[in-house]
């Protein structure tokens, strides 16, 4: 698909879901590189996980803003608040919007379905409506590898049918893709969806396995290894995700008119994944080494005594594997950080943030 160049320097960029994990790192990158303009962060700082970690990320953003050529504005609130979203767009007039705000987590969706409807459906609808009323150059939004469900064809391609989600979280993300496409078609809004694959790294989400396992091991607890370890995940380091998002932001699907005289939907969809699925047991072994090397755990820690093989849990899938060739073709980018380096960086951060030798 042809791309229209989007200039970020001097622009007003709205990032929802900052200071969430991906959002915070994206805002930090923008504040570091932009030569002017405004970055608006919007997040409700909810208690899905410890808000102190979000405050920590927000503190880093505010510190970076002091020396940035761009201005930073943080607004606390939910994208499910339609009046707030409208006010943000009317006041700041963003030309680029990156919607990362969402209720995340496959397992949490089983017991808390209402949170997913409110944030992922109502909230995203509010963002789309605001983009319609206040036209933008480019809307980039987060989807998820979860939409592939139990797809047995690997690697996963955006051309694959994804009509059989195995969790409500996955269903809401697929619904977001359909909503975005319809708004792109009806209102000529350039939209790009990004299916993220198992994002990890320093200051990440505590509900993700690598982080929660580290906390349990550091506390002397036992980690559950699902499907008896017979899982593969396409882990993607946070810096690779942010690099991909930044490149995509600068290249919006070009507007065009079809033979019927109506707009052709300026819409694109990409995977962002490492493209190197890791066996879960190998990933755990790499994590253990990183934690010992970083001094988070002692060298004589008995890992075998602190892990348990258990069956697959509802909503989970045995394999994720991204076909990111279209991203490389259109933006010249392929994720490159391997798990040994990525987990090393996480373990070092964890030791600094939580303390070592506990």
For the segment 68-107, what is each residue's pLDDT rounded down to a tens digit?
999 999 999 999 999 999 999 999 999 999 999 999 888 8
**Residue 315 counted as domain residue:** no
Q: What percent of the chain has pLDDT over 70?
A: 99
Q: Give me the CATH number covering residue 162.
A: 3.40.50.720
Which residue from 18, 30, 25, 21 is spatially nearest to 250, judged by alpha carbons? 30
User: Does residue 311 lie within any of the structural domains?
Assistant: no
169 is catalytic: yes
Q: On the CB side of 90, how many CA atoms lie within 13 Å of its CA?
A: 7
Work out the average pLDDT over 278-305.
Answer: 95
In a domain, 123, yes or no: yes
Decide if 344 is inside a domain: no
pLDDT of residue 101: 96
What are φ and ψ of residue 112, in 5° steps? -135, 60
Token pair 């000529």 in the structure block, residue: 188
**Beta carbons of 326 and 253 less than 8 angstroms apart:** no
The active-site residue, picked from 148, 169, 237, 267, is 169
Average pLDDT over residues 164-169: 92
Element (H, E) at 256: strand 256-257
How crowded is residue 209: how many other Cβ atoms within 10 Å of its Cβ? Answer: 20
Assigned domain for 350 exists: no
With the C-alpha atoms ordered 334, 338, 339, 344, is the resulting torsion angle positive or negative? negative
**pLDDT number for residue 121:** 97
Instruction: Report pLDDT for 357.
Output: 58
> Are 71 and 37 contacting, i.e. CB atoms less than 8 angstroms apart?
yes
Does the residue 175 lie in any domain? yes
Instruction: Report the number of distinct structural domains present in the chain.
Output: 1
| Domain span at 39 | 3-199+236-273+321-335
Question: Is 212 inside any structural domain?
Answer: no
Question: Quick check: helix, strand or coil at residue 42?
Answer: strand
pLDDT tens-digit profile of 327-356?
999 999 989 899 999 999 999 999 999 987
Question: Is 288 contained in some domain?
Answer: no
């Amino acid at each position: 698909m042809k791309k229209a160049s989007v200039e970020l320097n001097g622009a007003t960029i709205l990032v929802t879901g900052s200071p969430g994990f991906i959002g915070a790192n994206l805002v930090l990158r923008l504040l570091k590189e932009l030569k002017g303009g405004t970055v608006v962060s919007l997040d409700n700082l909810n208690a899905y996980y410890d808000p102190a970690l979000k405050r920590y990320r927000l503190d880093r953003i505010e510190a970076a803003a002091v020396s940035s050529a761009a201005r930073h504005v943080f607004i606390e609130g939910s994208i499910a608040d339609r009046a707030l979203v409208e006010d943000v767009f009317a006041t700041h007039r963003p030309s680029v919007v990156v919607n990362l705000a969402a209720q995340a987590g496959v397992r949490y969706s089983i017991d808390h379905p209402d949170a997913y409807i409110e944030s992922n459906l109502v909230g995203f609808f509010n963002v789309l409506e605001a983009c319609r009323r206040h036209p933008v150059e480019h809307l980039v939004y987060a989807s998820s590898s979860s939409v592939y469900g139990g797809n047995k064809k690997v690697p996963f391609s955006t051309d694959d049918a994804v009509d059989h989600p195995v969790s409500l979280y996955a269903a809401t993300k697929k619904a977001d893709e359909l909503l975005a496409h319809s708004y792109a078609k009806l209102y000529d809004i350039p939209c790009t969806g990004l299916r993220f694959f198992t994002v990890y790294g320093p200051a990440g989400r505590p509900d993700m396995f690598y982080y929660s396992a580290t906390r349990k091991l550091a506390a002397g607890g036992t980690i559950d290894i699902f499907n008896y370890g017979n899982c593969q995940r396409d882990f993607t380091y946070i810096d690779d995700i942010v690099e991909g998002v930044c490149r995509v932001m600068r290249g919006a699907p070009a507007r065009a008119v079809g033979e019927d005289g109506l707009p052709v939907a300026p819409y694109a969809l990409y995977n962002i994944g490492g493209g190197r699925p890791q066996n879960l047991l190998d990933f755990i072994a790499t994590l253990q080494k990183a934690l010992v090397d970083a001094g988070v755990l002692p060298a004589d820690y008995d890992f075998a005594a602190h892990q348990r093989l258990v069956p697959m849990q509802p909503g989970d899938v045995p394999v994720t594997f991204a076909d990111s060739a279209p991203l490389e073709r259109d933006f010249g980018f392929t994720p490159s950080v391997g798990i040994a380096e990525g987990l090393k960086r996480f373990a070092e951060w964890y030791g600094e943030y939580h303390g070592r030798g506990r």
